[in-house]
């Protein structure tokens, strides 16, 4: 990631080879902007102190939320999962997204699964 | 702005009636996500302590930057103006953008012009 470069979202997404493996493409203040490809289901988890923004670029994303109706996002739609709310993203087809989340946010919260990616992996280090 | 609603970016942009008048559509952590329509030139300004992310939805945006080459952004491209860097966005045609910036960021920094919009205006209050 080069902070001061122009980032093409489609090109960054095209560069991803793995599902559920976000890559950092920019930083704005204390937030990372990431791109990811999703397919299937991640895992129920929460981020106790951090909101997480999902913006769908292509495909349709379901986000199951504890204690309320799931949300469904199509291209050009965004949703912020509030801090502390357990959630589970589900992509029945391949979904390409942009994420905005605090630099300290752990991928799957306190839940660690095979798909969990460290921030070093997300930074491509 | 309802924090927990799904936000359609195109619809939010369609709702804007005025150029250079950002509207807050979501908050993620200490950042506001805003939409804006731009046409013409804003004003040279800087945000001393805050980065500002520009993501172009449609049109082509030039951002003049003090001390380095201007950047040109097309649809699906983003750029983060680093804190402290004087900049001047120019839209030779109508450009629709998404902004991400700290909740405390002043629209035109310490420069106040006719086009300057308060955060209350940006929140639709």
Contact across the interface for B28 and A73, Cβ inside 8 Å: no
DSSP tag of B82 = P
Phi and psi at residue A5, to the nearest 5°? -95, 155
Considering the domain boundaries, does residue A13 fall inside one? yes
Considering the domain boundaries, does residue B3 fall inside one? no
Q: What is the mean pLDDT of residues A17-22?
A: 94
Question: Residue B104: which of B86, B83, B87, B85 has the closest Cα?
Answer: B83
C-alpha A52/C-alpha A87 separation (Å) is 10
Query: Residue for token digits 């731009």?
Result: B38
Identify the residue among B3, B6, B47, B61 best suited for mutation to test binding to A, counting A beta carbons within 10 A and taking the highest.
B6
- What pLDDT, on a 0 to 100 scale, did the predictor assign at position A1? 45
Mark out the alpha helices in B3-123 (DSSP H runs).
9-14, 119-122
E strand residue ranges, A1-125? 7-8, 23-28, 31-41, 52-58, 61-65, 68-73, 77-81, 87-102
Q: Of A52, A71, A100, which is closest to B100 when you measure between CB atoms? A: A100
Chain A, nearest residue to B13 by Cα: A76
C-alpha B16/C-alpha B44 separation (Å) is 23
- Reported as a single tens digit per residue, the pLDDT across B106-115 is 888 888 888 8
Considering the domain boundaries, does residue A85 fall inside one? yes
Provide the domain count of chain B: 1
Considering the domain boundaries, does residue B2 fall inside one? no
Structure tokens at B38: 């731009």
Greatest C-alpha distance within chain B: 41
C-alpha A86/C-alpha A88 separation (Å) is 7
Considering the domain boundaries, does residue A4 fall inside one? no
Considering the domain boundaries, does residue A2 fall inside one? no
Question: Residue B42: which of B99, B104, B3, B123 has the closest Cα?
Answer: B99
- Reported as a single tens digit per residue, the pLDDT across B11-51 is 999 999 999 999 999 999 999 999 999 999 989 999 999 99
Q: What domain range includes position A76?
A: 9-122
C-alpha B107/C-alpha B50 separation (Å) is 11
* Bridge partners, A27 (sequence order): A32
- Strand A87-102 and strand A31-41: pairing? antiparallel
CATH number of the domain enclosing A87? 2.60.120.10
- Reported as a single tens digit per residue, the pLDDT across A82-119 is 999 999 999 999 999 999 999 988 888 888 888 888 88
Considering the domain boundaries, does residue B4 fall inside one? no
What ipTM was reported for this prediction? 0.91
DSSP tag of B30 = T
- Reported as a single tens digit per residue, the pLDDT across B90-110 is 999 999 999 999 998 888 888
Residues of B with a Cβ under 8 Å from any A Cβ are 3-10, 25-31, 33, 50-53, 55, 68, 71-73, 76-80, 82, 100-102
Structure tokens at B55: 């993501």
Considering the domain boundaries, does residue B46 fall inside one? yes
* pLDDT band at residue B58 under the 50/70/90 scheme: very high
């Amino acid at each position: 990631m080069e902070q001061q470069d122009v980032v093409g979202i489609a090109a960054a997404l095209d560069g991803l080879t793995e599902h559920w493996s976000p890559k950092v493409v920019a930083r704005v203040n204390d937030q990372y902007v990431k791109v990811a490809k999703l397919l299937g289901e991640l895992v129920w988890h929460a981020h106790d102190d951090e909101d997480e923004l999902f913006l769908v670029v292509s495909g349709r994303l379901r986000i199951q939320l504890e204690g309320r109706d799931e949300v469904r996002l199509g291209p050009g739609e965004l949703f912020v999962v509030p801090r502390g709310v357990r959630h589970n993203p589900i992509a029945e087809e391949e979904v390409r997204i942009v994420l905005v989340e605090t630099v300290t946010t752990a991928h799957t919260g306190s839940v660690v699964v095979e798909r969990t990616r460290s921030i070093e992996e997300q930074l491509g280090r």
